[in-house]
Amino acid sequence: MWYYEALFNDVRLALEGKLIYGEKTPYQNLQIYQTSRLGKILVLDKMTQTAEKDEFIYHEMVTHPLLLTHPRPEKVLIIGAGDGGVLREVLKHDVKQAYLVEIDERVINLSIKYLPSLSKGAFSDKRTRLIIADGAQFIRQTREKFDVVIIDSPDPVGMAKVLFTRNFYVNIFSILGSSGMMIRQTGSTMFQPNELQENYRIMKKIFPFVTPQLAAVPTYIGGFFSFIIGSKKINPPDVPYKLIAKRYAKSRLNTKYYNPDIHFASMKLPNYLRRVAQ
Ligand code: SAM
């Protein structure tokens, strides 16, 4: 049996595997496949969200560059991310509170059941505050301030569209502390080139420092996958290597992909992307 992703009209990820669970939640069509190459995968509305085998690349890269760049990240807000992978990585740091705002509670419960290695108990950590709500609405209404905001959303379709608008970024800016920073994924640089460019342009009008970051994640087909960082006070590429290496060693992070060399290498862009990020 084969799983075919329906993200693009003209390119397809096809994996040998079988459907082990499927449910229409109040928000989306959720499926879990067991694949031979990438382990179990979580699929929402026929779009691959994450895979057991390579999730560590994405989850480490949306977490550690920011948590080691911020001088004292105590309070972190995560939007989406119901599989728990980002929360697991955030809680490796000495943070005081990690809020996770996910719209669909079924994603959390079914990920804990079928993909337990993603959250690894993170939802039961006493620093976790779980909120079932629309992330855009939460950010608009909250009076809390955060040091780091991580947006781990699907691609900009359906209910995730609000997580890509100018207003959304303006509201994030206002709930960030003075050294605050945010990160989000902006898709494949080759197959979804507009995502990086459009988000870069919007964020550049709001944040003093905007930095794209790259990593290749096999599950997200199309070569380099992109992320974008918005920062209020600190320009991530300007932080001394020694400082990041010192913080990395002190935190005793157990990482499979991230290290201080990758931290800085991931912010270097090939020429075709330098033009996009202008
Ligand atoms: N890492 C994946 C990717 O890059 O495609 C995303 C995985 S995570 C499971 C995405 C989560 O965002 C889903 O569980 C979905 O329910 C949630 N989500 C979508 N729109 C949302 C919104 N407006 N507010 C909060 N969560 C949202």
In this structure, the residues whose C-beta lies within 6 A of any atom of ligand 1 are 44, 49-50, 58, 79-83, 101-104, 107, 134-136, 152-154, 159-160, 162-163, 185
The residue segments making up the domain with residue 34 are 2-51
User: Token pair of 215, please?
Assistant: 């990593």
State which of 33, 51, 69 marks the end of a domain.
51
Tell me: do 26 and 115 sit in the same domain: no
Same domain, 151 and 32: no
Residues 15 and 99 in one domain: no
CA distances from 272 to 170, 180, 191, 218, 220 (A): 28, 29, 13, 21, 20
Whole-angstrom Cα distance, residue 210 to residue 204?
Answer: 6
Per-residue pLDDT of the chain (278 residues; tens, 9 = 90+): 999 998 888 999 999 999 999 999 999 999 999 999 999 999 999 999 999 999 999 999 999 999 999 999 999 999 999 999 999 999 999 999 999 999 999 999 999 999 999 999 999 999 999 999 999 999 999 999 999 999 999 888 888 989 999 999 999 999 999 999 999 999 999 999 899 999 999 999 999 999 999 999 999 999 999 999 999 999 999 999 999 999 999 999 999 999 999 999 999 999 999 988 77
| Statement to judge: residues 35 and 134 lie in one domain | no
Same-domain status, 10 and 77: no
Are 35 and 145 in the same domain?
no
Q: Is the dihedral of CA 59, 173, 275, 197 positive or negative?
A: positive
* 99 and 15 part of one domain: no
Residue nearest to atom 10 of ligand 1 (CA): 153
Examine the domain organization and report whether 109 and 222 are in the same domain.
yes
**25: CATH:** 2.30.140.10
Atom of ligand 1 nearest to the CA of 101: 25
Same domain, 211 and 141: yes
Q: Are 146 and 99 a contacting pair, CB within 8 Å?
A: yes
